[in-house]
Structure 1
Amino acid sequence: MATTEPGAGGRSKWMRRLGWLLAIWLASVGSLFAVALVFRWLMRAVGLTAP
């Protein structure tokens, strides 16, 4: 089993993981926003909300 020494290599690994976490979070929030906009548009189109 390989071990990593503390230092720059470990730090870049964590930064990469944090970057992926942030990217996935932004993608999920963005997709939820898009779905909400579609539902809002549909509700407005059928007259369920005020313009």
Structure 2
Amino acid sequence: MTGKHGIEEQKRPLWQRLGWLVLIWAGSVAALGVVAWLMRMFMAAAGLSTH
């Protein structure tokens, strides 16, 4: 059973759907980078080294 939302999704152009995919991917990569940077800062504050 498809609702109104499913029909609207099909009408969107391909570039817009791919744009959302790229935006979500870039956001997740950026969030992962921030978490990794924070972990390195906490490790350095505790006297641990990453090299």
The TM-score, its normalising length taken from structure 2, stands at 0.71
Uncovered stretches (5+) of structure 2, i.e. residues with no partner: 1-10
Distance 1:23 1:50, change over 3 A: closer
Q: Distance in 1 between matches of 2:50 and 2:15?
A: 46
Higher relative contact order (CA 8 A, sep 6+): 2
Residue in 2 aligned with 1:32?
Answer: 32
Unaligned runs of 5+ in 1: 1-9
- CA drift of 1:13 comes to 1.0
Instruction: Show structure 1 runs of 4+ deviating over 6 A.
Output: none
Which residue number corresponds to residue 23 of structure 1? Answer: 23
- TM-score where L is the length of structure 1: 0.71
